[in-house]
Amino acid sequence: MSQIMKLSKKLLGYILFLLFIIYLAYYINQNREDFSALLDIAPIFLILISVTHLISFLMNALFLKVSMQPFQKEISLSESFFVSLLTSIGNYFFPVGAGTGTKAVYLKRKI
């Protein structure tokens, strides 16, 4: 792949990330009263929820890594963690198991 293509893909990624951050800030600003309820929750509970989600993603990543071994396909733990996150985001934002489809497409192209 040429240097220009690599640079343009990287630039597109940064632009999409920036657009996401702008949209997220707009959304939070428009729904301030909903997000203010988070301030009533004890920080320890927010930390526990975050750690639980992190452990869940890690377990899904390990499951994916182990389930690829019978097919003689190697995937790093960090990549399987990324796929686990991608699947969860897809399932959260899109209906009908789009995260699983996203995982299948990613693995088909990558491996």
pLDDT of 1-55, one tens digit each? 578 777 787 888 889 889 999 999 999 899 888 888 887 889 899 899 999 999 9
Which of 92, 85, 43, 93 minimizes the C-alpha distance to 60?
Answer: 85
Which of 86, 92, 89, 77 minimizes the C-alpha distance to 106?
Answer: 86
pLDDT of 82-103, one tens digit each? 888 888 888 888 877 788 888 8
pTM to 2 decimals?
A: 0.65
